[in-house]
Amino acid sequence: MLGNIFHTMNNRRLRSTPIPGTRDDYTGIDFNLGFHVRSYHLDINYRVGPNNLSGIATLHLDNWKPLASMTLDLAPSMRVTRITAQGSAGHTVKVARFRQSGGKLRITFAQEIPVDSEFSLAIRYAGTPRPIRSPWGDIGWEELENGALVASQPIGAPSWFPCDDTPDEKALYEIVVTTDNPHVVAVNGSLVSKKTAGSCTTWHYRVGHPMASYLATVQIGEYIQLGLSAPGDIPVRAWVPAELRESAREEFADQARMLALYTELFGPYPFNSYSVIVTEDELEIPLEAQGLSVFGSNHIQGDRTWERLIAHELSHQWFGNSLGLAQWNDIWLNEGFACYSEWLWFEHSAGRPADDSAREHYDELAAEPQDLIISDPGPRDMFDDRVYKRGALTVHALRVLLGDAPFFRMLRRYVAAGAHSVVEPVDLKREVLLEAATLEIPEQEVKDLWRAWLHQPELPRFPEPRG
Q: Is the confidence at residue 239, as pLDDT, over 60?
A: yes
Under the banding of pLDDT at 50, 70 and 90, the label for residue 92 is confident
- Identical topology for domains 224-317 and 327-454: no
pLDDT for res 16: 55
CB neighbours (10 Å) of residue 463?
20
pLDDT for res 12: 44
pLDDT for res 231: 58
Q: Is the confidence at residue 87, as pLDDT, over 50?
A: yes
Cite the DSSP H helix spans in 21-64: none
Please compute the mean of the pLDDT values over residues 403-418 and round it to a whole number.
98
C-alpha–C-alpha distance, residues 142 and 132, integer Å? 9
Is 327-454 in CATH node 1.10.390.10?
yes
pLDDT for res 301: 85
Q: Is the confidence at residue 5, as pLDDT, over 70?
A: no
Cα–Cα separations (whole angstroms), residue 52 to 139, 178, 186, 194, 444: 18, 12, 18, 21, 58
Three-state secondary structure call for residue 23: strand
CB neighbours (10 Å) of residue 293?
23
Fold of 224-317: Zincin-like (3.30.2010)
Q: For the chain, what are the domain ranges?
A: 2-218, 224-317, 327-454
Under the banding of pLDDT at 50, 70 and 90, the label for residue 304 is confident
For the segment 7-66, what is each residue's pLDDT rounded down to a tens digit? Answer: 334 434 455 555 667 899 999 999 999 999 999 999 999 999 999 999 999 999 999 999
CB neighbours (10 Å) of residue 190?
15
For the segment 344-388, what is each residue's pLDDT rounded down to a tens digit? Answer: 999 999 999 999 999 999 999 999 999 999 999 999 999 999 999
Please compute the mean of the pLDDT values over residues 191-207 and round it to a whole number.
98
Under the banding of pLDDT at 50, 70 and 90, the label for residue 444 is very high
C-alpha–C-alpha distance, residues 5 and 260, integer Å? 33
C-alpha–C-alpha distance, residues 19 and 225, integer Å? 42
pLDDT for res 229: 80
For the segment 164-198, what is each residue's pLDDT rounded down to a tens digit? Answer: 999 999 999 999 999 999 999 999 999 999 999 99
| Average pLDDT of the chain, as a whole number | 94
pLDDT for res 18: 56
Q: What single string gives the DSSP state of each residue in 247-300?
A: HHHHHTTTHHHHHHHHHHHH-S-SSS-EEEEE-SS--SS-EEETTEEEE-GGG-
Domain 2-218 is of which CATH architecture? Sandwich (2.60)
Half-sphere CA count of 89, side-chain side, radius 13 A: 4
Which residues participate in the annotated binding site?
312, 316, 335
Q: Which of 77, 43, 39 is nearest to 156 (CA)?
A: 77
Active site residues: 313, 388
Which residues participate in the annotated binding site for Zn(2+)?
312, 316, 335
Cα–Cα separations (whole angstroms), residue 228 to 157, 162, 239, 462: 29, 35, 10, 38
Phi/psi for 340 (5° steps) reads -65, -30
Q: Which of 226, 409, 389, 386 is nearest to 312 (CA)?
A: 389
Q: Is the confidence at residue 296, as pLDDT, over 60?
A: yes
Burial of 227 (C-beta count, 10 Å sphere; 0-12/13-18/19+): exposed
Contact (Cβ atoms closer than 8 angstroms) between residue 325 and residue 334: yes
